[in-house]
Amino acid sequence: MLEVKKNERPQIAHLFKGIEDSMVIAYLQGYMGRAYVDAFPNPAVAMIVSGEYSFFAGDPTTAAAKELARTLFEYIEEDSTVAIYADDNLGFRDLLLSVPENHPIEVARYGIVQKDYEFDRNRLQQFIDGLPEGFELKQFDEDLYRQAMSEDWSKEFCETFDSAEDYLKKGFGFAVVYQGHLVAGASTMTVYDGGTEVQVATKEEFQRRGLAMPCAAALLLECMNRKIRPCWDAATLTSKHMALKLGYEYKGEYSTVHMHR
């Protein structure tokens, strides 16, 4: 497989037309991520890697696709990946599930409609005002970036950025802090022209205390102020219910494949 150079990105854009995901947009616009193809100038198969996610496009019946499925962890730095593919191209699902050494498991995710929303500012402020006593809501700074990157539960807040400086220049987020420590947050996991992908998480021992909603509401308010589209995609039913409470619309379930070394 060949790594795609920055000036070659437009040549693979047509392969990913069926995947509506902000990480794909962010890669194609040159913000973050890497991509690999079997050949140029006419690739049959391509893979974009962004953090713990990988996106597959092209013809899954080709020899190149089968080779990629077998060797994909040669191109992925993480120990695991969530594979995403177009809803109408489930051949990649079947191909990835056929490689036992990658320990594949099909997992459903909950799609949220991607469009420009007009969120209710008063409702968002109510979520922020509902932060329990003893906790503090803070905007991400260098210290919170480093705290996020130091633990597995919070790495996704910032891991697609090159550094703290890169994150603070291109992205932003809001954290709930307890005794100086990051315990919940909402952050711009990826960024692109006019939009971002929202990542929300809470440390396990602080879950079910109403900490995630104030972070998410603060992030959406900031996106509205900056005229940025905040894209949301739900890995869990909890995330789906949060999105609907905030004012998003539900699209439906879709298939992914989780794999690890």
* pLDDT on residue 89: 85
Q: What band does 83 get if pLDDT is binned at 50, 70 and 90? A: very high
Q: Where in the chain is the domain with CATH 3.40.630.30?
A: 121-253
Q: What band does 156 get if pLDDT is binned at 50, 70 and 90? A: very high
* pLDDT on residue 120: 98
Asked whether the predicted pLDDT for residue 248 surpasses 90, the reply is yes
Asked whether the predicted pLDDT for residue 18 surpasses 90, the reply is no
Q: Percent of the chain scored above 90 by pLDDT?
A: 94
Average pLDDT of the chain? Answer: 96
| CATH domain 121-253 topology | Aminopeptidase (3.40.630)
Q: Where in the chain is the domain with CATH 3.40.630.110?
A: 2-102
* pLDDT on residue 20: 83
Asked whether the predicted pLDDT for residue 36 surpasses 90, the reply is yes
Asked whether the predicted pLDDT for residue 88 surpasses 90, the reply is no
Mean pLDDT of 50-75: 96
* pLDDT on residue 229: 96
The 3-state secondary structure of the chain, one letter per residue: CEECCHHHHHHHHHHHCCCCCHHHHHHHCCCCCEEEECCCCCCCEEEEEECCEEEEEECCCCHHHHHHHHHHHHCCCCCEEEEEECCCCCHHHHHHHCCHHHCCEEEEEEEECCCCCCCCHHHHHHHHHCCCCCCEEEECCHHHHHHHHCCCCCHHHCCCCCCHHHHHHHCCEEEEEECCEEEEEEEEEEEECCEEEEEEEECHHHCCCCCHHHHHHHHHHHHHHHCCEEECCECCHHHHHHHHHHCCCEEEEEEEEEEEC
Q: Which pTM was predicted?
A: 0.89
* Domain covering 2-102 in this structure, CATH number: 3.40.630.110
Q: What band does 244 get if pLDDT is binned at 50, 70 and 90? A: very high
Q: For 170-227, what is each residue's pLDDT tens digit?
A: 999 999 999 999 999 999 999 999 999 999 999 999 999 999 999 999 999 999 999 9
Asked whether the predicted pLDDT for residue 143 surpasses 90, the reply is yes
